[in-house]
Structure 1
Amino acid sequence: MKNPYPRSFSHIGLSVPDITKAVKFYQEVLGWYVIMEPSEVIEDNSPIGQMCTDVFGPGWGSFKIAHLSTSDKVGIELFEFPNNEDPENNFEFWKTGIFHFCVQDPDVEGLVEKIVEHGGKQRMPIREYYPGEKPYRMVYCEDPFGNLLEIYSHSYELTYSQGAY
Structure 2
Amino acid sequence: MKLTHINLVARDAKALAAFYEAVFQCKQMRPAKVLSGEKVSKGNGLPNSEILSIWLTFPDCGTPFLELHQHAATEDRGVAPVNATGFGHLAFQTPDLHALIAKVLSAGGSKQGEVTNFGTSERPHLICYMRDPQGNILELEQPYCTPEEDQQQPSDHCQSA
Q: 4+ residue stretches of structure 1 with deviation over 4 A?
A: none
Q: Which structure 2 residue ranges, 5 or more long, are not aligned?
A: 144-155
Partner in structure 2 of residue 108 of structure 1: 97
Matched residue SS, 1:23: helix
Residue-pair matches, total: 147
Identity %: 21
Matched residue SS, 2:129: strand
How many Å apart are 1:120 and its aligned residue?
0.7
- Give the alignment's TM-score, normalised by structure 1: 0.79
Q: 1:92 to 1:105 in 2, by over 3 A?
A: closer
Q: Which amino acid in structure 2 is aligned with residue 117 of structure 1?
A: S
Matched residue SS, 1:135: coil
Question: What RMSD, in angstroms, separates the aligned Cα atoms of the two structures?
Answer: 2.1
Task: Tell me if structure 1 keeps the 8 A contact 2:88–2:137.
Answer: yes
Pick from 10, 13, 16 the counterpart of residue 22 of structure 1: 16
Task: Tell me if structure 2 keeps the 8 A contact 1:19–1:38.
Answer: no
Q: 1:82 to 1:156 in 2, by over 3 A?
A: farther
Partner in structure 2 of residue 10 of structure 1: 4
**Alpha-carbon distance between aligned partners in 2 of 1:152 and 1:8, rounded to the nearest angstrom:** 24
- Give the alignment's TM-score, normalised by structure 2: 0.81
How many Å apart are 1:55 and its aligned residue?
3.6
